[in-house]
Amino acid sequence: MEEIRLQKFMAECGIASRRKCEEMIINGLVRVNEKKVTELGTKVNPDKDIVEVNGKKIGAEKKVYLLLNKPVGYVTTVSDEKDRPTVMKLLKNVKEKVVPVGRLDMYTSGLLLFSNDGEFIYKVTHPKHETTKTYIVKTRGVPTEKDLEHLRNGVKIENYITSPAKVELLLKDNTNNIARIWIQIHEGRNRQVRKMCEAIGLSVIALKREGVGNLTCEGLEKGEYRYLTEQEIKEIMEY
Ligand code: URA
């Protein structure tokens, strides 16, 4: 790992804000490799140097990557001001300070990732990296082939046009006026799939995220989570 400023490293370890960490350095509370450091320009290598604050060794949290099969009825947030059940409540026994990677609406189910690795979060959520997100949506209303083509090519939502998407009709039930559609996008705008469906006159009955990149919820009951494998993390980072 590259050398970084001591106060930045301390802040990344969750000690305090960078400004507060600078004060701690100036006040002589910080030691690097057993030597007191009061210089703000000091750089450290997080992999090699031993940093102590108030006599206690600090270090970055272990990086963790989780995959949850989210049930409907949970809000994707770390804490909810309305006191609704949050997805964090489903992560029992996770000590690290993970956050949801992107979000699923309260009434969307399926694959939701969590991590404390900023680079990983950026990779999954930034449209530039094109990590695919795959959804199955059950709609009231049956789309025509022209509607599906419209979804594929991009529809206008508020003030933007959605990027090209892969779209397949899985089921059409004209008698009950219901359809099931497979949609794969690489953006993640707020309520994007719902808005895409609404843009072609369909209302969403149920929405499930089936996959992110090559990951799926296979083998997980609703509300269950698992850790990603080394290989799965590597595939996302190299995607
Ligand atoms: N698109 C939506 O409309 N909702 C989600 O939760 C995810 C994608």
What are 70-95's pLDDT values in tens digits? 999 999 999 899 999 999 999 998 98
Q: Which CATH number fits domain 4-58: 3.30.565.10, 3.10.290.10, 3.30.1130.10, 3.40.50.80?
A: 3.10.290.10
Q: Which CATH number fits domain 65-127+217-237: 3.40.630.30, 3.40.1260.10, 3.30.70.580, 3.40.1550.10?
A: 3.30.70.580
Under 8 Å between Cβ of 207 and 107 = yes
CA of 209 to the centre of ligand 1 (A): 8
pLDDT top residue among 217 and 62? 217
Give the position, in ligand 1's atom list, of the atom nearest the Cα of 76. Answer: 6
- Those residues with Cβ within 8 angstroms of residue 9's Cβ, 6 or more apart along the chain or in another chain: 44, 46, 51, 60
pLDDT top residue among 74 and 126? 74
Q: Which of 105, 117, 147, 173 is catalytic?
A: 105
Ligand 1 pocket residue status of 194, Cβ below 6 Å: yes
What does each C-alpha distance from 121 to 10, 34, 64, 126, 133 come to in angstroms?
A: 21, 34, 11, 8, 14
Give the position, in ligand 1's atom list, of the atom nearest the Cα of 105. Answer: 6
CA of 108 to the centre of ligand 1 (A): 6
| Placement of tokens 């990149």 in the chain | 213
Is the pTM higher than 0.85? The answer reads no
The residue-averaged pLDDT of 157-184 equals: 97
What's 132-212's CATH class?
alpha beta
Residue ranges, CATH 3.30.70.580, the chain: 65-127+217-237
Give the position, in ligand 1's atom list, of the atom nearest the Cα of 191. Answer: 3
Return the amino acid letter for 189.
R
Ligand 1 pocket residue status of 207, Cβ below 6 Å: yes
105 catalytic? Reply is yes
CA of 61 to the centre of ligand 1 (A): 30
pLDDT, residue 16, reads: 85
pLDDT at 153 over 90: yes
pLDDT at 1 over 70: no
- Name the region of 36 (left: φ>0; alpha: ψ -120 to 50; beta: rest): beta
Q: Which of 112, 162, 207 to mutate to test the pocket of ligand 1 (most atoms within 8 A of CB)?
A: 207
| Placement of tokens 């992107």 in the chain | 102
The residue-averaged pLDDT of 150-166 equals: 95
CA of 114 to the centre of ligand 1 (A): 17
Residue ranges, CATH 3.10.290.10, the chain: 4-58
- Those residues with Cβ within 8 angstroms of residue 20's Cβ, 6 or more apart along the chain or in another chain: none
